[in-house]
Amino acid sequence: MGGATRWTVNVAPETDIDVRTYLAQRGMKKGDLSRFIEESVKWRLLDLTLAEARAGFDDVSPEEMSQLIDEAIADARRN
């Protein structure tokens, strides 16, 4: 993880124990905590981004959504 930025974070003691126990049970070492946190943050950002994107289509009917998807697939196949 070259060029990494150091974070200082505070978590509940229970969370600390849970994460470290999880990592230890899978044979991971202390340094793996940083990778675990980074991967978790990336997944959470993806989840939030997808939720925002889905919310943008709340007012679209299922039929209209199906039509939009079909059009997008057709456009992608033409290109």
Among residues 19, 12, 48, 13, which one has the least CA distance to residue 35? 19
User: Confidence class of residue 44 from pLDDT cuts 50, 70 and 90?
Assistant: very high
pTM of the model: 0.70
Residues ≥6 apart with Cβ < 8 Å to 36: 19, 23, 28
Residue-range domain boundaries for the chain: 30-78
List the alpha helices (DSSP H) in the chain.
Answer: 13-25, 32-55, 62-78
Span 39-51, average pLDDT: 97
pLDDT confidence of residue 1: 55
